[in-house]
Structure 1
Amino acid sequence: MNRNLGSEIDQLKLEMNKLQKLVGSYLGEASKKAFVMDDLTPDKEQNEGNIYYSGQYRNGHIKYKWDAKEQPIRGLLNLDGEKMAKILSALGNKQRLDILRSVIKGPVAGTELVEKLNMGTTGQLYHHIKALMGADLLVQEERGGSYSLPSHRVLPVLLLLAASSELADTTTYMDMADAREHPDLYLGAAGQAYDPHLLIWALLENTILEHQVGSCTEVHIFFHNERSLTVADNGRGIPITVLSNRERPHLQTVMTDIGQASLSAPYYAAGGEKGISVAIVNALSYQLAVEIRREGTIYRQDYKQGIPQSGIIKVGVTEESGTSITLEPDPDLFLTGFDIEALQKRAIEIQGAYPNLAIHILR
């Protein structure tokens, strides 16, 4: 009896697709159930419930342990807004936070704090220490001894740090929103129609950097239409892995962290005060998709006005390496579209400076 291997493989694929759909459906329902809230009726308060928290902290011979506590949601939502803003503003000073983070590990002398925090003078340190002691956030041992955090303040400070960690990405996205509000800082020509080609020149600047380190020999610019382009190189591909001191993957940091100028090569437009990094390109694009070919895998992540619309997804396998970015400039900022002649002119200029870097424009 002869077996039809092709037919069997097709049937196997069909069964695997069914299984995958079933598993996906199950996980989707489970995910929904995990986050489903009871329907609210007019008889129910919308701010009912409590927040529960407890914990312990050990550092050498110091150990703190707190019994479980609870705070009613209604009370938290009804706190005096002005007072809360003052608290957050007072603790939002970097040097005060550095002091609190240092003394929470154990008593520290004033001279140690000055040296450790690079404050330069003791006067600068004591200005903040006086405020923290007045707020009962710092105590000092007798006779001018070391500083430490009162035990009853340790848990609230740790919870504040934990909450700040959970909200860390909001500052990144606020920076991106600010870039959209002030595009002239990057694009120049304030009050005029901005040139969308500047975004492409910024992407090409990074392919040139890859070429200079010997990792990129070819770039393809795919002209989809006047509002959409793809710049694809055969460089190393942006790393995917999580940075040692960050929770976000390296790729997402490159694409969203405007403050990390060293993560990409900025392009400086005429009249622009700041360089256009890859993160700025992302912030000023209505839609952007980045595809990474690296270490045998193809990864993809989608953005809208700089905000991730998905996680980093594995979409295939490959023997190639490189980065492809497809973007659509924000029509609210860029009134005109791409011009293929301008792209060709720029390609000739780059190839004149870097003859071993081939640039292909395809439509």
Structure 2
Amino acid sequence: MGGMSAPRLHDVLPIRLGLDDNDSPSDVIDALFLGRFATGDQPYSHTTTIDRAKRDASLLPPGATVVRAARGDDRSALLAEGEGFTVLVSRWNAGADVTVTATSAELAERMLKLAVEDANDEPEDVPEQVKMGFWYHVPGRGPRRTTRQIAAASWQDVRSNYTAPVVDAMDGLMKLTPDDVAGRLLLLHGPPGTGKTSALRTLARAWRDWCQVDCVLDPERLFNDVGYLMHLAIGDEDGADDDDDDAGGAGEQKKERWRLLLLEDCDELIRGEAKDATGQALSRLLNLTDGLLGQGRNVLVGVTTNEDLERLHPAVVRPGRALARIEVGPLTRAESVAWLGTDQGVGDEGSTLAELYALRRGTTPPGIPNSRRSAPGLYL
């Protein structure tokens, strides 16, 4: 009826909530936010995630009035409303989720755009660092991606950390361009402590002009969750290049950046018995590299493993599948002595990079004989 005011926000929720000690103020805010969407008063919703939000950004559009706010140790929630719309802001670590419900799709889209305008906190580029993404699955919330600036030395600075065959192979990779890509799987295998992860960080720095590097923190979940895999493989592309003002005219499509997805220590996924042990996980990994799932997507997959090459599944190492297959082994004795500047503590078989750093610091991994020091679990 004309003249009657809209019901208050906490009066429109069409269910009763039973609260106990396990519920938090943030849980109440989440429930209240659904009120007008559930009743149909505001049937349109738009949402976005910001990996790194400025601390001083309100994440609210003009005209929004805060009606609930809650703050915890690792999460805060804000509920606000305006003429025809409601906003929920959830902050976690450096990131934030912003969702708007509204009386029309246009209003929801416009209010969300205003809420997150200039809210991204983009750190200044540092030559010694590279932006790397990290994917992980959150129960009840689905796939998440956050970014961090990661220290990454130049290849020239770290070439001496690797034995000659590795240097020869990595020299070519460091100079790779998108036009040179042949094969989608990058496989680094070898003992722990030989510098596989450090090499990948350096590679991310060398490729940063054309390739975004993302590390998947839960690869076992990724390849056993079709929804997670589809979201990561063919979802909205992050970091697509903007149109170059000096190249091409109106209507030219944006150039899609390549992505390198890093899967570390995936021994169970790619060893010889992987098909029996992991079910469809291995097949989905291979499908992402050169099957239907990977078609039309500029995606490379980088895998590190401690397994010997002969123990890997034949499908993983078959010719033509790999962009590069590099065995990252210890430095020879001569290379180790040259690196360390002394032969003190260097075994007849040489040393891994982790062992050399331990020797330089004057420490020795406990329980390991002098002739073959190794540092299980130490990944550089």
Q: Is TM > 0.5 for Structure 1 vs Structure 2?
A: no
More helix by share: 1
Larger Rg: 1
TM-score, scaled to structure 1: 0.26
Larger RCO of the pair (alpha carbons < 8 Å, separation 6+)? 2
